Structure 1
Amino acid sequence: MTTAEADRKATAPSAAGPVDPTQHIADPGPLGLAGFAATTFALSAVNAGLVAKAIEPVVLPLALFYGGLAQLLAAMWEFRKNNTFGATAFGTYGAFWLSFAFYVWQFADRIPPADAANATGLFLLVFTIFTGYMAIASLRTNAALVGVFVLLFLTFLFLTIGEYSGANSMAKLGGWLGLVTAVVAWYTSFAVVLNSTFKKTVLPVVPLRR
């Protein structure tokens, strides 16, 4: 057999059908969810008033490297695995956390104090809209992800209302919703890792009928 014939034989689909070239790639979802959950938890603890506002800068390195970079890497692997939903979600929220870090770090002080709330409100509104339509798309995934996206939509919504209205109670409610969102995201990440490791369903995510 010539080298060319051997190559053709190696790449030809089997009788059972073509082999999925991404089947050897680990699921990037748990990494993306864990990075999202950790950063959301830290910022939401500040927004909910559980910790002092003065420690908010601790969120920035998390936002840059775990919520930002790790989610962007997860998004690239979701593209490789042909998962449009996962790639879009992790890519956007990774970019959100990177944008948030740079906004607080480099640009927030350049905005006149009278316009600061409107600027932050506009920033949050963009991601409220995105999360709203991703919550609708999540209805074709599983119940755990639906919980993450519905809770995240409400988190962004109340934070946005809080910024535009100046109502601190709305921002605090958004912070508490963010904490619940982070816990559900951690659960979903943990479930996928645990189920994959044990090769059986240990923690359910409840796939929805397609």
Structure 2
Amino acid sequence: MATATENHSRDTTPPTEHHKGFHPVHIDPSPLSHARSNNELRLAAFGGEYQPGLYRPPPRKIANPAPLGLSCFGLTTFILSLINIGARGVHHPNIVVAVAYAYGGLVQLLSGMWEFAAGNTFGATALSSYGGFWISFGIILTPGGFEIVEGLEAKGVDQFYNSFGFFLTAWIIFTTMLLILTLRSTLAFFMLFFTLDIAFCCLAAGYFNFDEAGPNATCIKVGGWFGVIAAFLAWYNAFAGMADDTNSFFVAPVMHFPWSEKAKERNAQATADLENGVHGTKSD
């Protein structure tokens, strides 16, 4: 009877990809497993991944947390923006405080922490930061709680308006930094940060240009409209991150910029396919 060693030495199996210099791909026996090759990992990011870089993070053991964070941001921004434009005569943002603490703040902060576990530095930084924004926003506006507004207004109305303008200006700078990092991603992803940046600019201008009646109403209203657009873009990107052929009849288009690496790869592939088709026709 041949031993296991002898059987191994007599193995006449043709050379595998491993023998040809390729790294072996581990195949999980589970029917739900999916082995990814190096080429499959080289996928350009899209809005729903909250990842503007060329490559997606490595395969993760957790679900994609970006749609959750985007949904948190979109819903909280939508409610506040409706109040800023004075929808149905509502002008006081008290109702936003609860949402800012729980959903836009805590849940979005958690989604940012999960992005760290997923290996997405951009998503972790952005979602965690905007989660902190909503928590701090709730702290500022908590009625009778931290008395930040009352304390500043006691020293002069201009103290609160200018201070809040500084707060918004800081977020303009941060959002602009993130906006720059989306220039090589997708149109939907870029437009989210662009409209958000404009909204912050309008709101900051409104608080700096205050009068006896309060912040400049026109600037606040314009900022509110841009905030509504940003909210829907956040939801759109969240939908793009969740929709696939298992739960949706269509996938949301996100439109890669023509100068992005993914668009260049697609154009090169299309050109190669066209040339191969022309040459094939001639050879026939």
Q: TM-score, with normalisation over the residues of structure 1?
A: 0.86
State the secondary structure of the residue aligned to 1:139: coil
2:233 is matched with which residue: 184, 196, 199? 184
How many Å separate the matches in 1 of 2:75 and 2:249? Answer: 26
> Residue 172 in 1 paired to residue 172 in 2?
no
Q: Percent identity?
A: 37
- Aligned-pair CA distance for 1:21: 7.2
- Output the CA distance in 2 between the equivalents of 1:35 and 1:196: 24
Is this contact kept in 1: 2:58–2:119, CA < 8 A?
Answer: no
2: distance between equivalents of 1:203 and 1:121?
36
Tell me whether 133-142 or 145-154 shows the greater mean CA deviation: 133-142
Could you say which residue in structure 1 is the equivalent of 2:160? Answer: 116
Do the aligned residues in 1 keep the contact of 2:65 with 2:111 (CA within 8 Å)? yes
Q: Select the residue among 145, 152, 157 that pairs with 2:196.
A: 152
Name the CA distance, whole Å, in 1 between partners of 2:68 and 2:184.
21
Higher helix share: 1
Q: Deviations over 1:112-166 (max 9, x none)?
A: 2231110110111110110011111112332211110000000000100111012
Relative to 1, partners in 2 of residues 1:181 and 1:91: Cα closer, same or farther, differing over 3 Å?
A: same
Distance 1:159 1:171 in 2: 5
Give the aligned partner of residue 75 of structure 1: 112
Cα distance in structure 1, aligned partners of 2:68 and 2:133: 16
After TM superposition, the score normalised by the length of structure 2 is 0.64
Question: How is 1:24-173 mapped onto 2 (pairs within 5 angstroms)?
Answer: 24-51=61-88, 52-54=90-92, 56-105=93-142, 106=146, 107-112=148-153, 113-166=157-210, 167-173=216-222
**CA RMSD of the aligned region, Å?**
2.2
Q: How far is 1:198 from its partner?
A: 3.9
Structure of higher CA gyration radius: 2
AA partner of residue 116 (structure 1) = F
Show CA shifts across 1:61-91 (max 9, x none).
Answer: 1101111011111111111111111011101
Q: Quick one: which amino acid aligns to residue 190 of structure 1?
A: F
SS of residue matched to 2:244:
helix
The structure whose RCO (Cα within 8 Å, separation 6+) is larger is 1
CA contact (8 A) 1:31 1:71 kept: yes
Q: What residue identity is the alignment partner of 2:168?
A: L
Residue number among 231, 242, 258 corresponding to 1:193 in the alignment: 242
Please give the alpha-carbon distance, in whole angstroms, between the structure 2 residues aligned to 1:95 and 1:86.
Answer: 14
- Please state how far the C-alpha of 1:196 moved relative to its aligned partner: 7.0
Structure-2 separation of matches of 1:143 and 1:32: 19
* Structure 2: segments with no counterpart, 5+ residues: 1-22, 27-34, 37-56, 211-215, 262-284
Q: Distance in 2 between matches of 1:173 and 1:126?
A: 19
Residue in structure 1 matching 2:25, options 8, 16, 25: 16
Is residue 195–residue 203 contact of structure 1 (8 Å, CA) maintained in 2?
no
Say which SS state the counterpart of residue 23 (structure 1) adopts: coil
Q: Which amino acid aligns with 2:102?
A: F
Gaps of 5+ in 1: 1-13
